[in-house]
Chains A and B, each alone.
Chain A
Amino acid sequence: MSPTTTWYLVLAAVLFGLGSFGLMIRRNPLVMFMCIELMLNAVNLSFVALAREFTDIDGQTAVFFVMVVAAAEVVVGLGIIISIMRRRPGATVDDLAELRG
């Protein structure tokens, strides 16, 4: 008995839910970023599972682009976090309710 596509999709759904749960309860911006990575990986997993299901390589190409965009997003997001933390050390996301610098 080998795992079918449905199993992979269920696993991806659980991983996505865990990531969204962490995103909603954690207050450290870095850990929130990691939870976003979890959600992106869940989507990547379902992309590859469906690419195998339909023998269509387009799904894997989409995962490739998701990885590129995720890398760029992490770089910019961490840059923003660094510039915020430099100004207010130890800030959580609850402290960032205002745009004033």
Chain B
Amino acid sequence: MELVVFVLASLMVLAGAVGVIAYRNPVHAALGLVLTLFGVAVHFVAMEAHFLAAVQVIVYAGAIVVLFLFVIMLLGVDRSEDLSIEPFRIQRPAAAVISLGVIGLIVAAVVRAAGTLSDDPGTAAPGDSNIRALARNLFSDHVLAFELTSVLLIVAVVGTVILTRRVRRGEGDVR
């Protein structure tokens, strides 16, 4: 059963990733991204990370992809890009070599280290739900980092408003 879930979710993840790369239209690429994010959420549920699965669906598949689609529609760049044009002839082969090299190196490292991992990974501590354990860890050990993320979000919001506002001519502002 777990194997079936793993295979199906992995197929979702990889098909979505290939879709992001291969679709000409940015809107279709965004939908491929949704498929990948849902697949990752299924993996999170399978690994007992229930809170992160919920956040993955709400924040990533909900907010971030909707933001992408918003910007695509706002800019009107939803026309297809001709992928057959290759500005630098060596770019795609070189990119393929680098990516396959990265994959090969990581897989080799993982396979080499496979002996140090137990065959039966531990499960969450009984009687302590995932969200409770996560909250206890977040608000005790990592509370300073948690507070700093609020500063980060404020900075991001203010910066975006300043970046994207339209300044009318004649207000003495340099654009």
Number of residues on chain B facing chain A (CB within 8 A) = 83
**Interface membership of B84, Cβ < 8 A:** no
Give the chain B neighbours of A34 by CB distance below 8 A: 20, 29-30, 33, 68
Q: Is the CB of B156 within 8 A of A15?
A: no
Give the chain A neighbours of B117 by CB distance below 8 A: 4-6, 53
Q: Is the CB of A11 within 8 A of B60?
A: no
CB 8 Å contact bits of B1-25 with A (1 = contact, 0 = none): 0110010001001100110110000
Q: Is the CB of A24 within 8 A of B26?
A: no
Closest to B165 in A: A83
One of B3, B17, B29, B175 near A3 (C-beta < 8 A): B3
Give the chain A neighbours of B14 by CB distance below 8 A: 11, 14-15, 18
Instruction: Please provide the chain B residues from 79 to 95 with a CB less than 8 Å away from any CB of chain A in the complex.
Output: 81, 87, 91-92, 94-95
Give the secondary structure class of B's interface: helix
Instruction: Please provide the chain A residues from 12 to 57 with a CB less than 8 Å away from any CB of chain B in the complex.
Output: 13-22, 24-28, 30-31, 33-35, 37-38, 41, 44-45, 48-49, 51-55, 57
The CA-CA distance from A8 to B105 in the complex, in Å, is: 16
Q: Is the CB of A27 within 8 A of B81?
A: yes
Q: Is the CB of A28 within 8 A of B67?
A: no
One of B74, B81, B106, B133 near A13 (C-beta < 8 A): B106
CB 8 Å contact bits of B110-154 with A (1 = contact, 0 = none): 110010011101111100001001100110011001000100110
Residue positions of A touching B, CB distance < 8 A: 1-11, 13-22, 24-28, 30-31, 33-35, 37-38, 41, 44-45, 48-49, 51-55, 57-58, 60-61, 63-65, 67-76, 78-83, 85, 89-90, 94, 101
